[in-house]
Amino acid sequence: MLERANDLLYPDIPPMMFVTCLYAVLDPDSGRLQYANAGHDLPMHRSGDGIDEFWATGMPLGLMPGSTYEEKEISLLPEESVLFYSDGLVEAHNSQREMFGLPRLRELVVSHPGGADLIDFLLGKLEEFTGAEWEREDDLTFVTLQRMEVALTETAPSTQSGQSIAEDSWLILAEFDVQSERGNEREALERVAEAV
């Protein structure tokens, strides 16, 4: 997908411009996460061993024709989490022109249990760092992913079809298909928003 996107962008993108992108596919049943990176910030994986980053080589999209992208995979264990983020976070500056930076982000991710609350936590720490009057230099985008361990009991949660959720599984909020056609991204985003 990244190779195709790169080759489509390259002829039309202005000189010295490019697009970073991280492409990931998650199997919610097994926790298997396959990913490839086109020059985007490295996702942070929090496990019992601490923090590591998802390394995969690849040039930003639209920069060079014929670029190839390394594909890697990891299996997320119960209670492990991943933070995906844009560079607007780590490249934010305070009034002394100090950068928020990756070391600070790593420390904050290690100190937090993860999950959706991590986003509010990071936004709070960013505001403490920059001050409330800070004018954003770039976009801020966060996605968190955490694999939950669900204990199987008589009152275990069930899916819409009434099936019990087994231990070490994921809770599926919705399932849908969207045609792979230009312009259908908005429909996919709307479906995800409705499910959440």
Residue range 144-159, pLDDT digits in tens? 988 887 654 444 455 5
pLDDT for res 150? 62
To the question of pTM greater than 0.75 for the whole model, the response is: no
Task: List, for residues 27-74, the tens digit of each pLDDT value.
Answer: 988 899 999 999 999 999 988 888 889 899 999 999 999 999 999 999
**180 versus 2: which is more confidently predicted?**
2
Question: Residue 58: beta bridge partners?
Answer: none
Residues 117 and 170 both lie in one domain:
no
Residues 102 and 84 both lie in one domain:
yes
Residues 107 and 164 both lie in one domain:
no
Alpha helices in 80-146 (DSSP H): 87-90, 102-111, 117-130
Cα–Cα distance measured from residue 84 to residue 143, given in angstroms and rounded to the nearest whole number: 5
Please compute the mean of the pLDDT values over residues 151-178 and round it to a whole number: 57
Cα–Cα distance measured from residue 25 to residue 128, given in angstroms and rounded to the nearest whole number: 34
**Which tokens belong to 35?**
């990913």
Polymer length of the chain: 196
Alpha carbons within 13 A on the beta-carbon side of 146: 15
- Helix, coil or strand: residue 24: strand
Residues 141 and 190 both lie in one domain:
no
Residues 136 and 192 both lie in one domain:
no
Give the structural domain span for 102: 2-149
Residues 46 and 129 both lie in one domain:
yes
Residues 101 and 195 both lie in one domain:
no
> How many folded domains does the chain comprise?
2
**Cβ distance 134 to 127 under 8 Å?**
yes
Cα–Cα distance measured from residue 102 to residue 28, given in angstroms and rounded to the nearest whole number: 28
Residues 58 and 138 both lie in one domain:
yes
Residues 83 and 102 both lie in one domain:
yes
Residues 30 and 115 both lie in one domain:
yes
Task: List, for residues 81-115, the tens digit of each pLDDT value.
Answer: 899 998 888 888 888 889 999 999 999 998 888 77
CATH code of the domain containing 84: 3.60.40.10
